[in-house]
Structure 1
Amino acid sequence: MPKDIDTELGVERKKHAVSIPGTSEPVKSFWQKLVSLGVELRGLEPIPLELRITSIFSHYSQKRPWGFFPDMTALGLQDWYRGRHDAWLILLIPSCYTLTLAPLLDMRQWCQLRYVYGKYFNQVISFVGLLGTAIFGIVASVTGGQTLASVNPGTLSIEGGIAIILLVAFFIGFMGYKVLHGFARYAWIPAAFGVVILIGCAGDRLHQQAPSCATGARPWLSLISLTADISFTWGGIIGDYACYMPKKAPRFRLAFYFFPDLVSYSHCL
């Protein structure tokens, strides 16, 4: 039966069926329709070398909205008596290292954690990471819904704004990493406008930062707990952006492109 490999979706197309590499049974007609619409069906299977053709190593510089995540977290870490620069390093360096492992292992991030923590303990890690990601998504959806409601007073409720944010996020995420990367390529533009507006409204107060005065074990334990939670959340997604890159992808370049874009907003603020 004739077949060819779809390099965008990571599936094998046959004349009468669609199958996923690593499985023996053809995918049902329902999944065939999803594949024809561009939905990515790859799950836990390692990605074959012939599909790993992504060579745009600098596409992390196009995901500038992620910069808000460590920046706002670093602001929160000041409550644990640490300076912002220390908080940035604690959050960013492990993420940069984890990113460079994906091209070498050709697996999604949760698959990597499976071999690091073992079969059973990884279930706990996966649950905690999934819970942290879900909470972060809920908070982001509520914040986005409130923003939409505030710019449309009297015409759009907060619940309606939350529903719009969730539907848009579901549609983008459901279409696979090709669509997600395309969206992230330009999503930094409205985020940049938001930073400019923020600096214009609160620029005279941005210099007010809490001094670093960590004493005792309590602030350090609190910081470690919060950092572990953030690492679990990042562990489920960061390597997914590089798993379609070839095995010889330059690790230093990946970390170099990724690190400054995460701290760019922080330095602006």
Structure 2
Amino acid sequence: MKNLLSSLRVKEGEVYEANYDRKPRWYRRLVDAGVEENGIMPIPLEQRISTRYSNLFTVFFTCLLCLLPIPTGMLATLGMGLSLRDASLIILFFALLTSIPPAFMGIGGMETGLRQLIQARYSFGLYFVMVPLLLNAATLTGFSLLSAVVGGQTLSSLNTDKVNVDVGIVIICLVAFAVSLLGFNALHLWERWAWIPNLISIVIAVGCGGSHLHLQGEARPATPSQVLTFGCLIAGYCITFGGTVSDYSIYHKPHRVSRIRVFLYIYSGLLFPSVPLLILGAAIGGAVPNVPSWEQAYHATGVGGVMSEMLAPAGGFGRFVLVVLALSVIGNIAISMYSVALNLQMLLPFFAKVHRFLFILATMAIMIPMAIRAAEAWEESLTNFLAVIGYWAGCFDAVLIVELLVFRRMDYSTYDHGIWNVGEKLPSGLAAIGASLVSLALVVPGMAAPWYTGLIAKTTGDIGFEMAFVVTAISYMPFRWLEIRWRGHL
């Protein structure tokens, strides 16, 4: 027992060391096969050796080149009554804007060698970081279960008598589990190539069923309230990557590539698949009420049923393409489960020495029944989820960006590896939490979720995300300045 406890102890300032030669042969074989050894410990500069920077594009491009954006876009026309033109403009503008914070934050993984929520400790402190940590884990689990529902619905639409949605969800989750288990290199390898069949299958589906997409219902011009409310959903879709983006760049070598290039890789990886597929979803949503077979399929098996109807003219080949479409969500679930496992490793000090396998297994065990439950009220689940996550992510991104720009003056060397798990040397976190709480004074009356609409939002529409980001950023500056004066250090 004493030896076990000793092996789980993490020393203050301990960084990752690849003690490859000291490990058993079976362990070395796993590492040689591509299984990632490290969890949340900082990666020293000499071990950040990857120069394949284009992976930072493909990991997000493939993650989002799947079915998940389609039902999100459908909410605009099918759920909120927007026209396709108005929905497309809202998607484009808000995606262009809200993809900037996570793309900027992703540079920090390469420059610091720190996971995203470990970087957050340098603002939120060792203890208060638990708040965004748990919120981020819940968000990633939510995205995973929504992806699992879409994939499960699509598999089920092949034969609803033999494969129900629940079975489809389990199949999708098990495959994603295997990919996420292997770790960083395996994820980048999967995401580097999996976009090809995903893209081909989406193009075929649009080619087969696109003749019905012009059958859009009449819609009144969008009101400011509708614009801001749907824009908040798009913000929740894009900006939440700020909680994970550095997890996928910590092994990349800095100083060999410009920060602008890294930013553009991540930004385009988020933007290029999202905008076209969200707009495609809006087009499908607008056509569903006017195409009887699509409407019937949507009520039976959701977006998977609609995709099945779109591919029906292709016969047996269309059914094969439908399977590929269902599997397209694996890349999205895999990176989410990977980051959730990392988040769980940060909950308690000794968890850093517990392998990600156990946390991924626990996440999957929780996610499968939750996804099955979410599938029973699909549209409501999606709307509630996207409406809420943008608020906390706005606070989180604002704190980390202001910390880097204002107080650390873009000097990544101030993220000292020697204090990453030393509570008394890290910030107290009072400034970050205080600024986030101050923003709630305007977030709550400015939010418009299906279960609650604030007094301000009744007039303006949902402005909760904007208030969260702007008010937190403004409040954090004086709070953090006072914290630095009080503590005597960053």
Shorter-chain TM-score: what band?
0.7 to 0.9
Give the drift of 1:107.
0.8
Deviations 1:35-72 (CA, angstroms, capped at 9, x unpaired): 57643231221102221111111123434233346676
Please point out which of 113, 116, 139 is paired with 2:120. Answer: 113
Partner of 2:265: 257
Contact persistence 2:120–2:129 (CA under 8 A): yes
What residue number does 1:67 align with? 64
Are residues 1:55 and 2:40 paired? no
How does 1:124-139 map onto structure 2 within 5 Å? 124-139=131-146
More helix by share: 2
Partner Cα distance (1:10, 1:183) in 2: 26
Code of the residue aligned with 2:135 in structure 1: it is V
- Provide the rounded CA distance (Å) in 2 between the counterparts of 1:211 and 1:65: 34
Where has structure 1 moved over 4 Å in runs of 4 or more?
A: 29-38, 68-82, 206-212, 218-226
Post-superposition CA distance 1:12-36 (Å, at most 9, x none): 2134x37xxxxxxxxxx99778657
Q: Distance in 2 between matches of 1:229 and 1:143?
A: 16
Tell me how far 1:109 sits from its aligned partner: 1.2
User: What displacement does 1:167 show?
Assistant: 1.0
Contact 2:155-2:165 at 8 Å conserved across structures: yes
How far apart in 2 are the matches of 1:85 and 1:229?
Answer: 13
Q: CA deviation at 1:156?
A: 2.9
Q: Secondary structure at the match of 1:44?
A: coil
Task: Answer yes or no: is 1:39 the counterpart of 2:39.
Answer: no
Structure 1 residue 235 displacement after superposition? 2.9
* 1:205 corresponds to: 213
Normalised by the size of structure 2, how large is the TM-score? 0.44
Distance 2:265 2:17 in 1: 26
Question: Which residue of structure 2 lines up, in the alignment, with residue 231 of structure 1?
Answer: 239
Which region of structure 1 is more displaced relative to structure 2, 122-131 or 202-211? 202-211
| CA positional deviation for 1:247 | 2.2
Deviates more, 1:66-75 or 1:106-115: 66-75
1:95 to partner: Cα distance: 1.7
Q: Distance in 2 between matches of 1:51 and 1:177?
A: 14
**Identity %, equivalent residues:** 28
Cα distance, 1:236 vs structure 2: 3.5
TM-score for both structures, normalised by structure 1: 0.75
Q: Tell me, yes or no, if the aligned pair for 2:51 and 2:252 is still in contact at 8 Å.
A: yes
Give the Cα separation in 2 of the matches to 1:157 and 1:219: 36
3-state secondary structure, aligned to 2:126 = coil
The 3 A distance-change label for structure 1 pair 176 and 95 is same
Is the partner of 2:271 in helix, strand or coil?
Answer: helix
The whole-number CA distance in structure 1 between the counterparts of 2:164 and 2:120 is 41
Post-superposition shift, 1:244? Answer: 0.6
Quickly say closer, same or farther: Cα 1:157–1:10, change in 2 above 3 A.
Answer: farther
Taking CA–CA contacts closer than 8 Å with sequence separation of 6 or more, which of the two structures ends up with the larger relative contact order? 1
Work out which of the two has the higher radius of gyration on C-alpha atoms and give 1 or 2.
2
CA 1:90–1:12 in 2, change beyond 3 Å: closer, same or farther? same
Alpha carbons 1:54, 1:246 under 8 Å: kept: yes
Distance in 2 separating the partners of 1:151 and 1:145: 10
The count of aligned residue pairs is 247
- Counterparts of 2:130 and 2:237, CA distance in 1: 15
Runs of 5+ consecutive residues of structure 1 not aligned to the other structure:
1-8, 19-28
Q: What residue is the counterpart of 1:5 in the other structure? A: none
Unpaired runs of at least 5, structure 2: 1-15, 281-490
C-alpha offsets along residues 85-124 of structure 1, whole Å, 9 cap, x if unaligned? Answer: 2221233111211111211111111111222322233111
Kept after mapping to 1: 8 A contact 2:35/2:186: no
1:184 aligns with 2:180: no
> Is the alpha carbon distance of 1:85 and 1:225 closer, same or farther for their aligned partners in structure 2, counting shifts above 3 Å?
closer
Amino acid at match of 1:143: V
Contact 2:62 2:192 survives alignment (8 Å): no
Structure 2 CA distance for partners of 1:246 and 1:192, relative to 1, 3 Å? same
Q: Is the 8 A contact 1:146 1:161 kept in 2?
A: yes
- Cα gap change, 1:36/1:181 in structure 2, threshold over 3 Å: closer, same or farther? closer
Q: Secondary structure at the match of 1:119?
A: helix
